[in-house]
Amino acid sequence: MKNDIGLWIDHKKAVIVFLGDESVQTINSNLERVFSAGGSHGINSGAKDFPAEDIRDRHIEKLRKEYYAKVSDTIKYPERLYIMGPGEAKVELTHQLKEDGYTKIIEKVETSDKLTDNQILAKVKAFFQD
């Protein structure tokens, strides 16, 4: 249990629990601050005031990859990994981690509601109880 890690993730933040010292680290994604349309929004506003959808999508994908890379760099190959979260972020992160070589250490990926840091810590401890 000394190098087991549990994490709760959504598109806003990741909460990582290191069971070795029972520490908790939070990583914010910056995805909620994706650039918004500029210019005026009055009668004379037009297409020039809004970024093209493909540009916005590429920007979001770039931020998402940076976020998952930061999470991957933070966990640094634990013995076992438990992933949970409320939406698609846990699935997207799992795919990224498998590409990074974490396939054999991912114990479980499950859906979980929003939880406090203490609830996440308790859930991770319970999961890794032998």
User: pLDDT tens across 54-95, in order?
Assistant: 888 888 889 999 999 999 999 988 999 999 999 999 999 999
How would you classify the pairing of strands 80-85 and 4-9?
parallel
Mean pLDDT, the chain, whole residue set: 86
Concatenating the DSSP letter of every residue in 78-110 gives -SEEEEEESSTHHHHHHHHHHHTT-GGGEEEEE
Q: What is the pTM of this model?
A: 0.81
Judge residue 51's burial from the number of C-beta atoms within 10 Å of its C-beta, 0-12 exposed, 13-18 middle, 19 or more buried: middle
Round to whole Å and give the CA distance between 19 and 115.
Answer: 17
Name the residue with higher pLDDT: 50 or 98: 98
Name the residue with higher pLDDT: 48 or 116: 116
Round to whole Å and give the CA distance between 29 and 68.
Answer: 8
Q: Give 45's pLDDT tier (boundaries 50, 70, 90).
A: low
Q: Give 125's pLDDT tier (boundaries 50, 70, 90).
A: very high
**DSSP structural state of residue 49:** G
What is the percent of the chain with per-residue pLDDT over 70, rounded to a whole number?
83
The DSSP bridge partners found for residue 111 are 85
- What is the domain partition of the chain in residue ranges? 4-33+50-128
**Size (the chain), residues:** 130
CATH topology of domain 4-33+50-128: Nucleotidyltransferase; domain 5 (3.30.420)
CA distances 64 to 4, 38, 60, Å, are 25, 22, 6
Q: Which residue has the tokens 């991957």?
A: 72
